Amino acid sequence: MKKILIVGAGGQIGSELVPYLRGIYGVNNVVAADLDEAKLQALSDGPVAKLNALDGERFAEIVKTHKIDTIFNMVALLSATGEKDPMLAWKINMGALENSLNIAKDNGCAVFTPSSIGAFGPNTPHDNTPQDTIMQPTTIYGVCKVAGEMLSDYYHTRFGVDTRSVRFPGIISNVTLPGGGTTDYAVEIYYDAIKYNKYTCNLGAGTFLDMLYMPDALDSCVQLMEADPTKLKHRNSFNIAAMSFDPEIIAAEIKKHIPTFTMDYNVDAVKQAIANSWPNSMDDSCARAEWGWNPKYDLNKMTIDMLDKVRVKFDKGMY
């Protein structure tokens, strides 16, 4: 990776991936592209480009102008939002991927596109979910992710495009809030713990899901894209995991630091049904074996860091 384009740079992952990659590859070698000019403003210490990822002509022009060799396609409408307008989710999620793949094919670029725990469904083995198993998701988000995984593998075998991907668990972070995801509660709980000392959870007790702290998510992008291709038996997409917990467990962890913190429940039926269809915990042994995946944060270490960072934001009046 020498010249990188991040599409969807203003989102939860993109907004942290841009500075992270600029730190490694050089500020001028990472172009941040997004539809939202205000979000680009925050990333304007390096090159930025306004882009609707569905506009293939403009997308290709940016790739050519900046001589891009690697595209990170971080555009996505998340799972719960997707259920509100399934065809819009299909259009955005698949349209951005289709453009990324075709432009990569025409310009010799590698492509990273995140897949998700949402690629799995109710018929998937829920515990220690294998790398290669039944998918059959029941959300439009998951349908896009499975189709995306297959299309990306197809572009690799058919056209030789260097496509690589991970199945992200719920990502917990403290720079940009996620929006419309089923796993968002695990971010919101930290913000509300600091601000209100209490949290109302929209998933029920006993809902186990894989989660991942942002620094490990960022590492996974670089590690996989820099991995020796001869070692990769899989490409699209690798299970990666770091921790699995339910709302009771994360609340108990927060209570260790804020003893008066309390949590109650107001379950969102749509999100609960989605969460129930997803794995409780994934087997990530292929990622560990094929490219050295080895996350650094568990629930304990992440909670200490999240509470510190979110407290600083609160003290500065940033939320």
Contact residues: ligand SER, CB under 6 A: 78-79, 116-118, 141, 168, 170, 181-183
11 or 170: CB nearest ligand SER: 170
CB contact at 8 A, 103 and 59: yes
Q: How far is the CB of 136 from ligand SER (least distance, A)?
A: 16
Terminal Cα distance for the chain, rounded: 35
Indicate which residue of 20, 25, 141, 191 is catalytic.
141
What is the residue type of 157? T
Q: ω into residue 237 within 30 of 0, thus cis? A: yes
What is the C-alpha R_g of the chain?
19
Q: How far is the CB of 278 from ligand SER (least distance, A)?
A: 8
> Coil, strand or helix: which one is 175?
coil
Instruction: Find, among 207, 206, 203, the residue nearest to 181 by Cα.
Output: 203
Strand 30-34 and strand 48-50: pairing? parallel
Task: For residues 102 and 115, give the distance between their C-alpha atoms in angstroms, rounded to a whole number.
Answer: 18
Q: How far is the CB of 143 from ligand SER (least distance, A)?
A: 13
141 or 293: CB nearest ligand SER: 141
- Residue 309, φ and ψ in degrees, nearest 5: -65, -40
68 or 212: CB nearest ligand SER: 212
8 or 181: CB nearest ligand SER: 181
Task: For residues 218 and 215, give the distance between their C-alpha atoms in angstroms, rounded to a whole number.
Answer: 5
Cα 185 from chain centroid (whole Å): 15
Q: How far is the CB of 80 from ligand SER (least distance, A)?
A: 6
Q: Is 190 a catalytic residue?
A: no
Q: Structure tokens of 225?
A: 């894209």
Helix, strand, coil shares, percent, the chain, to 5: 50, 15, 35
Q: Taking CB positions, which residue lies at the least distance from ligand SER?
A: 181
Task: For residues 282 and 179, give the distance between their C-alpha atoms in angstroms, rounded to a whole number.
Answer: 23
118 or 279: CB nearest ligand SER: 118
Q: How far is the CB of 78 from ligand SER (least distance, A)?
A: 4
Residues tagged active-site: 141
